[in-house]
Copies of this chain bind each other. A is one copy, B any other.
Amino acid sequence: MQEEELKAFFTRDRLAALLGIELESVGSGKATARVTLSDKHLNGVDIAHGGTLFTLADFAFAAASNSHGTVAVGINATISYLKPSRAGETLTAEAVEIGRSHRLATYEVRVRNQTGDLVALFQGTVYRKQERLADIAP
């Protein structure tokens, strides 16, 4: 699939849309997503919610793992929080494929703030179905 088709497919992700998370780029086994933090992304102590960081990383992970044109579904994921982020900061999640076999693939996603500091490290694994993404796209 071409980048434009993949980007169009991912506009269907409603949680990402609700949170203002944008897919910047997606290529073979990799993707980058971005969000600028505002009030709605925060937890009770005014820092970026774990769910915000996870959703940002997960979105890049989903794009990277579906980039080969077949449907990939998440099996599990882990996230480590390295540095707190606050409203006004812009975060970028970069997903990279670190292993892929016929049925499984694993990705690492690094979330950085606008000054390049590592904010979170995410690792996720997918099950790769035979179904083609194009067959379920609109």
Contacts and interface: CB of A to CB of B under 8 A. Distances in A.
A58 B50 contact: yes
Contact of A82 (B43, B50, B99): B99
B99 A121 contact: yes
Interface string A25-44: 00000000000000111111
Contacts of A59: 51
Contact of A106 (B54, B73, B108, B121): B121
A41 B118 CA distance: 27
A134 interface: no
Contacts of A55: 49-51, 54-55
B80 A75 contact: yes
A9 B46 CA distance: 12
A91 interface: no
Number of copies: 4
A78 interface: yes
B78 A77 contact: yes
A80 B99 CA distance: 10
A104 B9 CA distance: 26
Contact of A14 (B9, B43, B76): B43
Contacts of A127: 103-104
A9 B15 CA distance: 25
A43 to B, nearest CB: 5
